[in-house]
Amino acid sequence: MSVPIGQMMSVLRHVAVQRLRGNRRYPLVLMLEPLFRCNLACAGCGKIQHPVEVLRRHLSPAECFRAVDECGAPIVAIPGGEPLLHPQIEEIIAGIVARKKYLYVCTNAIKLEEMLPRFTPSKYLAFSVHLDGLQREHDASVCRKGVYELAVAAIRVARQAGFRVTTNSTLFADAEPERCREFFDEVMDLGVEGMMVSPGYSYEKAPDQENFLSRERSHGLFREILREGGRRWKFNQSPVFLEFLKGNWDLECRPWGTPSYSLFGWQKPCYLLDDGYANSFAELMETTNWEGYGRASGNPKCQQCMAHCGYEPAAVEATFSSWRGFLRTAWLTLAGPPRQANTSPTRQPGQRPWQPEPRLPVLPVIDPVPAERVA
């Protein structure tokens, strides 16, 4: 695990305060979406399929700060769209850092090298660069050739300039375990602080609906990728969540742990599902039917989901809800996961052996609202 000590202590204090207050549901990470506009059109993305008039809009810095203060989570993530297209992103980042929130700016890095001089390195600021694999896999995933090389170059420049850099990777049904291990090795060679990895969620609006992983195949894939304990890979994630991905630790989704705020308000129930909006964080927490979500609820939208935005909070809860959970997590952190045999993902009788699914097609770039046209 490669989470900064200061961030771990901030989360620990936050959890302790919430538990002392008797709060069962509380946020850990605010997913702040100041815009939906992007300079890529990834086939697996369900965030940019909005009307042009929506893509033209963005939250003001004041609206972003109000959401950060209202939520109170110790960590803020700015996904997208592409945050670096926001005309006031420097002000937004500076304001959140000034509040001493640990901030992760999720970016495809196309504009990162160009914009680095506008930012100041801080222990509270990290650029989380989207990389879905080695060059072949990543360029296919984002549907544009050359993006992998741009991202890798930007990571090197950002590290040389003293910025914290992590990566975030989404794996789909065509992922090859050995290629993923090579990718993790290459990312570590770039000098990043840590990696985040998660199975892709099947957004209803995503153009490609055939390439998402089922829960069973996710377990098999991650067991195969992470079978060798003690490698030099560093993950910016809980070791409990990684064990969950391998099927070794049972968790139940905690959607309230990562509330999402965007142009439309506070999204119910989470960053991935869109079942309405609340006008305030308090309204979100009080009026959302939380029992109607998660795998145990039987909600069909939740049955295959293993995304980190719902299960990382569950991993934190599992760590601090009992001494047994705390000791198991401490052991995983200090000793690493147990080594596993070289096994292929499990399959149902009659199912064809594990092999990559067909590659995502390389689609043309769709940018209905070019950045230069946005004031």
pLDDT of 365 over the 50 cut: no
> Are 342 and 227 spatial neighbours (Cβ–Cβ below 8 Å)?
yes
pLDDT of 216 over the 70 cut: yes
**In the predicted model, what is the mean pLDDT of residues 192-205?**
79
Q: How many residues does the chain have?
A: 375
Task: Tell me 339's DSSP state.
Answer: P
Q: Confidence class of residue 369 from pLDDT cuts 50, 70 and 90? A: very low
Task: Label residue 114 exposed, middle or buried (CB < 10 Å: 0-12, 13-18, 19+).
Answer: exposed
Nearest to 25 by CA among 196, 233, 252: 252
The per-residue pLDDT for 130 is 96
The per-residue pLDDT for 265 is 97
Using N-to-C axis directions, what is the helix angle for 323-335 and 308-320, rounded to 10°? 110
Instruction: Give the residue, 136 or 271, on which the prediction is more confident.
Output: 136
Mean pLDDT is lowest, of 194-198, 202-206, 220-224, for 202-206
Task: Label residue 364 exposed, middle or buried (CB < 10 Å: 0-12, 13-18, 19+).
Answer: exposed
To 10 degrees, the CA torsion angle through 294, 298, 304, 306? 20
Distance of CA 113 to the CA centre of its chain: 22
pLDDT of 375 over the 90 cut: no
Report d(CA 213, CA 217) in Å as an integer.
6
Report d(CA 36, CA 367) in Å as an integer.
12
Bridge-based pairing state of the strands 125-130 and 164-171: parallel
pLDDT of 316 over the 80 cut: yes
Phi, psi for 77 (deg, rounded to 5): -115, 135
171 three-class SS: strand
Taking only the tens place, the pLDDT of each residue in 247-302 is: 999 999 999 999 999 999 999 999 888 899 999 999 999 999 999 999 999 999 89
Nearest to 78 by CA among 91, 92, 88: 92
Phi, psi for 78 (deg, rounded to 5): -110, 95
Report d(CA 108, CA 247) in Å as an integer.
30
Task: Label residue 314 exposed, middle or buried (CB < 10 Å: 0-12, 13-18, 19+).
Answer: buried
Q: Confidence class of residue 334 from pLDDT cuts 50, 70 and 90? A: confident
The per-residue pLDDT for 371 is 38
Instruction: Give the residue, 193 or 204, on which the prediction is more confident.
Output: 193
pLDDT of 242 over the 60 cut: yes
The per-residue pLDDT for 357 is 40
Report d(CA 180, CA 167) in Å as an integer.
14
pLDDT of 327 over the 90 cut: no
Nearest to 288 by CA among 256, 251, 253, 317: 256
**In the predicted model, what is the mean pLDDT of residues 53-82?**
96
Rounded (to 5) percent helix, strand, coil in the chain: 40, 15, 45
Taking only the tens place, the pLDDT of each residue in 11-52 is: 999 999 999 999 999 999 999 999 999 988 887 776 677 888
The per-residue pLDDT for 374 is 35
pLDDT of 341 over the 60 cut: no
The per-residue pLDDT for 307 is 87
Q: Which domains does the chain possess?
A: 5-373 (3.20.20)
Amino acid at 202: S
The per-residue pLDDT for 41 is 82
Tell me the percentage of the chain whose pLDDT exceeds 90.
65
The per-residue pLDDT for 337 is 74
Mean pLDDT is lowest, of 53-62, 119-128, 219-228, for 219-228
The CA distances from residue 136 to 228, 277, 323, in Å, are 24, 38, 44
Taking only the tens place, the pLDDT of each residue in 103-129 is: 999 999 999 999 999 999 999 999 999
Q: Confidence class of residue 342 from pLDDT cuts 50, 70 and 90? A: low
The whole-chain average pLDDT of the chain stands at: 86
Taking only the tens place, the pLDDT of each residue in 88-103 is: 999 999 999 999 999 9
Tell me the percentage of the chain whose pLDDT exceeds 70.
85
The per-residue pLDDT for 351 is 45
Q: Confidence class of residue 352 from pLDDT cuts 50, 70 and 90? A: very low
The per-residue pLDDT for 72 is 97
> Are 72 and 27 spatial neighbours (Cβ–Cβ below 8 Å)?
yes
Report d(CA 189, CA 62) in Å as an integer.
39
> Are 284 and 31 spatial neighbours (Cβ–Cβ below 8 Å)?
no
